[in-house]
Chains A and B, each alone.
Chain A
């Protein structure tokens, strides 16, 4: 069962750091990640893991950051490094080839403009269309995301809509140019669970209809199970484990992934006590020399875990883990 879909976007050793005075915070460290055409990849992690910064780096939305590495884009015009594009080139790329939606639809929409005008503006920025055509595109986009009476809705303001409807508008706007990749940064976190289910279903349907790829950023393993084919678990700026969704959820190897999965209360059974992870995420301005999870890891041993950073080791087809003791933790035998 080899996946023959071509790679669309590829992060190669991408690092992001912020410097203030003589202090440097290494927020993202040597991320390698590829997204195939039509594939959904999830970046999962807790606050401060660097998952959102990674997505903002792809979009060039970090003006003050130092970004190293390459972000290769394999579009119709051949391979290009997004990090080498000029501001002007990137502007057409952003919203054109890559769309993005955020957690807070209220703060991402302009409260002073009717939503029809906002979507039409997005269309006119990227496509040579007249006002009237843009308005038609806006109406079609609203219909695509399942908003009832789309024509009438063009004249409403964001405050007149519910959170779920606003998120649909955001999705409509991001899809105006039929991007090849949609980056969704916690798009359902602010929504109620019945509305979240609607939005996830919508995203799945749109992905199928439009054949786009998705980079889904979330902290919720439940959401990941619903939507992603592959998962990359981030901790303190690094990918600590990645693999197919099923591999990660059913056979997690890294102590952090396993601890995180055990810390989630379950709907199907009641446990007396939740496994919690003691301690806090290390400060990105003063990272430990060895494994970044070592200070909180119950399996950490001196020297092996604390003296040098563990590499990302590949276990089997696509399942990789950044842990020096992984052979002891892998439940299945690997060749």
Chain B
């Protein structure tokens, strides 16, 4: 299959799917946060949270961003629906750069994009009943006109996420973590969005409940035709839910691949180390593993060249010299590593 290449863009750097199938395209996005030092003068120190990130998400797919703490995955997720503005670069949603929209246009766009957060204990307003929290979304976007209509829609939504409609008059504190996450999901899908960012939506839940929520997310994705960016540090969860995977380390994407390819044969040394570090309930497999030494470097002063080189078992001198570009290594996957000799 040939990929169409939009004018002015090179193939270098990321998987380029058919442009008509793309809902979201992230182009050269950076996010730097200024850091105030000990002096009162403004300093030129920055946390480079997200750096030169490029990828695109096709309609209907679940694109998963994985990484450890400090990799920039949450910052990236927030920029995708413009909860944070990128310092540089473009976020094209359905062909339009979100940064060019004014407030009113952005509000209309928001109806099409929603987010679910990790902690269902802090993402719901404790003073609002569940019905009001969900109903608010319907009112803001003008989806329902009358109170009766609103209440009916709230009840339908609660039922969709597996809660009884009687729950609408209750407050968040009356629910367990799993139920709260269901409420947060009901709120996120209230405006019938096309695009959903899920930032670690099951990390705070027990396994048995986590399975319930993952199943619910899969069901909704199928029934609503949702396009999703699923952010997670849990690789087993990602394998279960994702179609494609992007691995981030210290603000940069190390590898993008189709999910089965990624788990069966990770290309980038960091992907390999990450997969090998996951403990599995399989005692035969758990004995052989590669333990990375050291820790993630400071995003205020990332290493020169490849950001992973300080922990990489395959690093050579040349790795310090250049920032390896995210390059296509085959039709469906790209990796940011100069050691092509390892791929043989």
Contacts and interface: CB of A to CB of B under 8 A. Distances in A.
A33 interface: no
Contacts, number: 119
Contact of B282 (A197, A201, A268, A271): A268
B236 A266 contact: yes
Given A46-B206, A47-B206, A164-B295, A221 B176 contact: no
Nearest to B202: A265
B291 A198 contact: yes
A274 interface: yes
Contacts of B273: 194
Contacts of A51: none
Contacts of A277: 208, 211-212
Interface of A: 46-47, 162-165, 192-198, 200-201, 219-226, 245-246, 249-250, 259-261, 263-268, 270-271, 273-278, 280
B214 A265 contact: yes
A268 B214 contact: no
A195 B234 CA distance: 14
18 contacts: A164-B295, A192-B233, A193-B274, A194-B68, A194-B292, A195-B68, A195-B295, A196-B279, A198-B291, A198-B292, A200-B279, A201-B291, A222-B280, A260-B208, A263-B210, A267-B280, A273-B218, A275-B211
B208 A197 contact: no
Contacts of B286: 222, 225-226
B277 interface: yes
Contacts of B176: 280
Contacts of A195: 68, 295
A168 to B, nearest CB: 11
B291 A197 contact: yes
B112 interface: no
Given A194-B68, A197-B289, A267-B236, A261 B260 contact: no
Given A192-B69, A266-B240, A277-B212, 10 more contacts: A46-B207, A194-B291, A194-B292, A198-B292, A222-B286, A261-B281, A263-B207, A264-B281, A265-B214, A268-B263
Given A194-B292, A267-B263, A274 B280 contact: no
A225 B207 contact: no
A249 B282 contact: yes
A260 B209 CA distance: 10
Interface of B: 68-69, 176, 206-212, 214-215, 218, 233-237, 239-240, 259-260, 263, 273-275, 277-283, 285-286, 289, 291-293, 295-296
Contacts of A265: 211, 214, 234, 236-237, 239-240
Contact of A193 (B207, B209, B278, B282): B278
A270 B240 contact: yes
A271 B240 CA distance: 7
Given A275-B211, A280-B176, A225 B281 contact: yes
Nearest 5 A/B pairs, CB to CB: A222-B279, A276-B211, A221-B281, A277-B208, A192-B68
Query: Chain B CB within 10 Å — which of A163, A222, A264, A267 has the most?
Result: A267
Nearest to B298: A162
A245 B236 contact: no
Given A264-B207, A265-B240, A278-B212, A193 B295 contact: no
Nearest to A271: B240
Contact of A274 (B69, B211, B234, B263): B211
B214 to A, nearest CB: 6
Contacts of B206: 46-47, 219
A219 B293 CA distance: 25
B277 to A, nearest CB: 4
Contacts of B239: 265-267, 270
A163 B236 CA distance: 23
Nearest to A201: B291
Contacts of A47: 206
Contacts of B207: 46, 219, 260, 263-264
A276 B215 contact: yes
A222 B214 contact: no
A194 B279 contact: no
Contacts of B285: 268
Contacts of B278: 193, 222, 267
A261 B208 CA distance: 9
B208 A46 contact: yes
Contacts of B259: 270
A267 B237 CA distance: 8
B225 to A, nearest CB: 18
A266 B281 CA distance: 9
A274 B214 contact: yes
A285 to B, nearest CB: 16
B266 to A, nearest CB: 11
A246 B207 CA distance: 20
A292 B21 CA distance: 51
Contacts of A246: 283
Contact of B215 (A221, A260, A273): A273
